[in-house]
Structure 1
C-alpha cells in the first residue's frame, strides 16, 4: 500500500513534464487561469456593461437557430417576474471564502450586466432543483429542472480536451479507470471489476474502508493506451467524460443522470458513448462486442469527437453564456434593456 502511494507521489513531477513535452492536451494551467481571472477585475464594470450590446450582436456571425437552441436548453425559464424580489441583489455578489472558482467563472459574464439586477447562485455539485431560479453548474436531467439555469462553471477542470495520437486499433483491449471513490455506486463497480482481466480500475483517494482497491494515479496519456475509459458519475457528472469523448478511446458508462454545460442529457447511447446497465452486469459483453466490431467502435468515436467540437468555438460559447444570463433577467422581470434584443 505505502509503496503504491509513494510511487504515485514520485510520478507527479514526471506527469507535468510529459504533458509539456508531448503536447497531448490543451492543459488548463492554473497560473494562466488566474492571470486571466484577475485581469478581468481591472476592467471597469461600466465599460463591460456598455459593450454588452455589441457582444450580443455577434449572433449575426453564427447560426442563430443553433445558438437559441442551446440558450433555451440551458435556460428553460418562462415568465416569472413575480419572484424578482425574492432573488439576491448582485450588489452582494462578492468573492466568497470557498468555491472561488465558481465565482470567477460566473463573474466572467455577470460583469456585463448591471449590478442593480437580482439573481440566485447555487455553487457546488448540485443534484437537486432549487425552489427559485438559480445559476448552477449541474442539474438533474429528468423532471422539471427549469429553475436550474446552467452556466459553464469550473471549466478549467471540466472542459479539458486532448489530441490523442494513438489509433483505436493500437490500444489495449481493456477498460481503464482511475477515480476518487466514496460513493456507493463507484464502490460497487470496483467490487465487481477490480480484479477482472479486462479491467484496470482502481481508486486514487485514501479511504480506510476500501483501501484494497487503492492504485497509484496514472497520467492522462497512459489512459489513452486503452480502448475503453470508464466515465462513472461521481457527486454529479463524470468529470473526465469531456476529454474522453475528444480522444480515440470509447467512453463507457451507464446513461447519465445529471448534466452540465456539456449537455450530457443530449448524448445518445451507443452513438456518442458505450452504454452499460446501471447495475454494470453487462460490462464484459459490451467491451467484447466493440472489440469484435471495430467499425462500429470507430463510428462512435467519430460521433463523440464531432459532439465535442461545438464547445471549442470560444466566441460562440461566450455569446451563448451572455444570452443565457440575459434570458434569466428577462424572464424574472428585469429586462429587456436597450441593445440587448
Structure 2
C-alpha cells in the first residue's frame, strides 16, 4: 500500500508505561485534538485523530512557558467523565497536519483502488471527504501562519517516487521525512523558540523515517500476500537492514532531543526517546516471530470493513474489529509492560522502583 506519509500510532503510551502525571498530560493532548477537530471541522474530522500527530501538540507545549487547558464536558470515551484538555495552538497545528496528511493518504487509497475503494460509490464518497479534509487542514494551517505547501508537496512526491524503479529505501522515506520535519519545525514558531527550529527539523526527519519504516515492517507480510506496494520489497531491503536504519533514527532522535531548549522535558522524552525505542523492539519482534492468533477473523472488506475501521478511529482504539489482532491482546501485551521490572526506569533520577505506573501502588511526581 502506497502513500505512507504518516502512520496512526507507532507511539502507543498507556498507564502501564507512563507516570501518572505524564499520562494525564498525554490524555489532555489526545482529547484536546479530538475536540478541536470536532469543534472546527465537524464530527467526521475526528476520524483523523492519531497518536503520532499529537507529537506536534506535545512539542509545542513543551517549549512554551505557559500552558492553556480547559475543562471539557463528559465524554463516552472517558467513561462519561470530564477532563482537562489542551486548547493551545499546538493542538490546532496537530489538527491541521493530521487532516492534510489523512487527506493525502485517503486519495492514494482511492487512486490505487485499495479494499473498499475499488467500488465506485465508496471511492466517490471518499474523494469528497478527502477534499473536505484538505481544505479544512489548509484553512487551519493558514490561521496558524503555517505553510501547508511542504505537506501537500510531500503527499504528491510520495506517490511519484513509489512509481519510479530502482529507488533506495531512504529515497522512498524522504517525502515522509520532509512532511514531519516541516510540522515539527513550526512548533518552535508557535512557542516563540526560533532557536529550536533547525534541531526540530532534524528530529522530524528522524521520526518521519522511523514512522515510515515501522509501518512498512508491520505491513510487510500482508502487502506481500496481497501483492500490494511495500517500500521494503520495492527497494530490496531485508529486515536486518531496516532495523539498522531504525536504530540509527532512534540515535539521531535522542541526540536531537537532548539539544532542544525546552520548558518541560518529561513527556517529550518519554514519547520521542523511550516510546519510539519500544516501538522498534515491538515491531521487529513481531515481524521476526509472527504468531497467528486463531481468534482473528478474516477481514471481510467492503463497507463493513470501512465502517469498522472508522469506529476504531472514532473510539481511539477502544473498539477493534474481530480481524484486528490487537483486539485480543491485553493492555500490558500491547505496550510490552512486564510489571515493575519494566517500569522501574521510567523516570530518571528516581531511586529504585519509581512507582510511577499502574503496576506500582503509589504515584510519582516526576
**Which has the higher Rg, Structure 1 or Structure 2?**
1
Normalised TM-score (structure 2)? 0.25
The structure with the greater share of residues assigned to strand is 1
